[in-house]
Amino acid sequence: MLFNSQAFLFFFLPLVLAGYYLLVPKAGRHAWLTACSYAFYAWWDWRFCGLLLLTTCVDYFAGRRVAAGRTPRRRKGWLAFSLCADLGVLGFFKYYDLGASTANALAGLFPGTFALPLLHLALPVGISFYTFQAMSYTIDIYRGEVRPARRFIDFACYVSLFPQLVAGPIVRYRDLEAQLVRREHSWEKAGAGIALFVLGLAKKVLLADGIAPLADRAFGHAAPGLAAAWTGLLAYTLQIYFDFSGYSDMAVGLGLLFGFRFPVNFDSPYKATSITDFWRRWHISLSTWLKDYLYIPLGGNRKGAGRTYFNLFATMLLGGLWHGASWMFAGWGAYHGLLLAAERMNGKRGWLFRCPRPVQTGFTFLLAMGGWLLFRSENAGVAKRMACGLLGLNGWGTAGAPVRDAGLHAALLVLGTVLVFSAKNTWEIKIRPTVPWCAALLALFFLSLAAMLVNSSSPFLYFQF
């Protein structure tokens, strides 16, 4: 169930809100949220609820043992147990087939060696997000930065909280620790939550989904021409931003409706003036997680220049793989790792820093687009085709299959481009609970709902059966 689905907006959310505020006593609110979050998760596949529960139990138990451990050795042992369990589950479900197929391909170079079976496991939705959240909990307890959760239901609520369960932001336990004990519910928070949710929905449904067909056409084309390839790559660059940041805004808005405050996840990333700056602004909850729990433990920049470059590269490579079990994601991570290392190597002496700010921003945007080429391509063949198109090796070429309402999509592409370079972040817009703002947000809500319904509906009525 996605936030931008009828099931969520017209069934699940009203039910959860009604239960939370009207039906359930205050003491039972976390239990209600947890139950609803499991129902939300089960909507994809109920079998994976067991996995979510397992992760919750293991980390709750391990967290208590880490905190209670009398010797550093014992504390470290329980931390290792928790991390092994979390990474084991994540690795098995997400990366087993990738590892096995890669091993088999390598073994194929030496006939008569071995062949690992492929399990074709269904990937539990959101496993990467909740695993990272659960890991941060035990690590922070080990570091003495948080205390273990007092009640199991609080911790279960934190791990499974549906607004951020499947697509982030990655909320660390220390950000919610106090809120799980006591948090304020107010009309102010609810108002801000509604505004953020509506803006996020509009970003996702009107902009991201409106631009998507242009990207799909280019990446699905056998030999995209120069114009089609650049348009498609630009479209994807904008699509992924509006899609992800819109979803994050919705998550944060939903959190506010239940009294929670989540961290900011996007800060106008395409206004960045360098790749380092880009990663301070893009998926902030992930980049800070990687910095705090991977880059710094690896040594950060404290062990010499060479080690720093390696740490940057390794962190980004693993960060790329976190996005999905594909070598294309690893390539995307490695690409960013190399760019970060190169920027670190050049320091402030690079030519880019001497250029005017718009040039820096434009160049960084182009570098980010290069990364999205790898990120969006299902395999190296698609990436190569698109790269040929971008370099003009396919000529101007045809645009591929005609896109329905292409003019509208093109207009949205232009609008999106203007917005990413000139507009404020959603959380910076000066919204107030006034009549004009209320009318504007309602109009945006109607428009988003209409676009969502038009796109999701099939006139083939009885396919419902």
Partner 1 sequence: MTKPLQPELSTRFAGCGGIRNRVFCLVFLCVWALLLAADWGLRFQHYRWQDAWWIRTGGGGNAAAAAGGKPAETVQAARRGGDLSDFFPFRFLAAPYEEFHPRAVFPCDENGFPNEWPSAARHYGAMFAGDSFMVSSGTQNIAQVFAETSGLETCNFGRRASGPLQQIGWFIQTRPLRELPPLAFWGLTARDLGGGLFSRQPLDAWFAGAREAATAGTPTLSRGWRIRREALRPREVDRAWPNTSALAHFARHAWGAVRMVAFRKWPAEIAAAEHPAFGPMLFYGENLRVLPELTPEKDAAGILRTVGRISDWFEQHGTALVVLLIPEKEQIHEDLLPPEQRRGIENGADALVSALAEGLAAQGVHTVNLLPAFRQAAAEGTCLYWRDDTHWNDAGIRLAAREAWKYVVEHRLADGGSDRGAGNGAE
Interface ranges with partner 1 (CB under 8 A): 1, 5-7, 10, 14, 42-44, 172, 175, 186-192, 194-196, 252, 255-256, 261-264, 267, 284-285, 288, 404-405, 407-408, 427-434, 437-438, 441-442, 445, 449-451, 453-454, 456-465
Provide the sign of the torsion angle of the four alpha carbons 252, 324, 328, 210, taken in this order.
Answer: negative
Residue type at 10 in one-letter notation: F
30 is known as an active-site residue: no
Considering the complex, state which of residue 151 and residue 424 has its C-beta at the smaller distance from partner 1: 424
Of 30, 323, 336, 409, the active-site residue reads 323
The H-or-E segment that residue 363 falls in is helix 357-376
Min. distance of Cβ 193 from partner 1 in angstroms? Answer: 9
Min. distance of Cβ 12 from partner 1 in angstroms? Answer: 11
Residue 282 three-state SS: coil
Chain CA centroid to CA 337, Å: 18
Residue 395 tokens, joined? 């000529």
Angle at the Cα of 404 from the Cα atoms of 403 and 405, rounded to 5 degrees: 110
DSSP per-residue letters across 89-156? HHIIIIIHHHHHHHHHHHHTTSTTS--PPP--PPPPTTHHHHHHHHHHHHHHHHTTSSPPPSSHHHHH
Taking the C-alpha atoms of residue 382 and residue 219, their distance in angstroms, rounded to an integer, is 7
Min. distance of Cβ 259 from partner 1 in angstroms? Answer: 11
Output phi, psi for 260, to 5 deg: -90, 150
Residue 125: which of 98, 155, 94 has the closest Cα?
A: 94
Taking the C-alpha atoms of residue 158 and residue 255, their distance in angstroms, rounded to an integer, is 11
Residue with tokens 């936030």: 3
Min. distance of Cβ 461 from partner 1 in angstroms? Answer: 5
Min. distance of Cβ 40 from partner 1 in angstroms? Answer: 11
Min. distance of Cβ 199 from partner 1 in angstroms? Answer: 10
Taking the C-alpha atoms of residue 176 and residue 189, their distance in angstroms, rounded to an integer, is 16
Considering the complex, state which of residue 287 and residue 361 has its C-beta at the smaller distance from partner 1: 287
Annotated catalytic residues are 323
